[in-house]
């Protein structure tokens, strides 16, 4: 699984991209975020307030109950500010 971080989430985590193999109990976005929080203090800090965290799986916005699988590209980022 590829995990991408953007904007200030990226600066907190300290990397733009990670290739990870989550354990079997990670089935959806919610459980993935819980697992990611434990990877480092930076991850924990980035994911402290999930109300300002958006997730896309394979480049489509998803909700916390959306399933995640081994081959997915999961992007984690703050609310967008383009335009």
Partner 1 sequence: MIRVQREDFDVGAELKALTAGRHEIGGAVTFVGLVRDMAGDSKIGAMTLEHYPGMTEKQLAEIEAEAKKRWPLSASLIVHRYGRLEPGEQIVLVITASAHREAAFEACHFLIDWLKTKAPFWKLEDTDQGAQWVAAEARDDKAAERWTKP
Binding site for partner 1 (CB under 8 A): 4, 6-8, 56, 59-61, 75, 77-83
- Closest distance to partner 1 from the beta carbon of 15 (Å): 14
Token reading at 33: 């975020």
Torsion angles phi and psi, residue 57, rounded to 5 = -110, 125
Cα–Cα dist 39/83, whole Å: 33
Residue whose CB is less far from partner 1, 23 or 83: 83
Residue whose CB is less far from partner 1, 59 or 63: 59
Residue whose CB is less far from partner 1, 38 or 51: 51
Token reading at 27: 């089935």
């Amino acid at each position: 699984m590829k995990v991408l971080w953007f904007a200030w989430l990226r600066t907190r985590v300290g990397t733009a991209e990670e290739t990870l193999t989550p354990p079997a109990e990670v089935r959806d976005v919610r459980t993935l975020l819980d697992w990611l929080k434990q990877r480092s203090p930076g991850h924990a800090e980035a994911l402290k307030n999930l109300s300002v965290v958006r997730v896309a799986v394979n480049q489509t916005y998803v909700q916390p109950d959306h399933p995640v699988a081994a081959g997915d590209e999961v992007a984690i980022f703050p609310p967008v500010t383009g335009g």
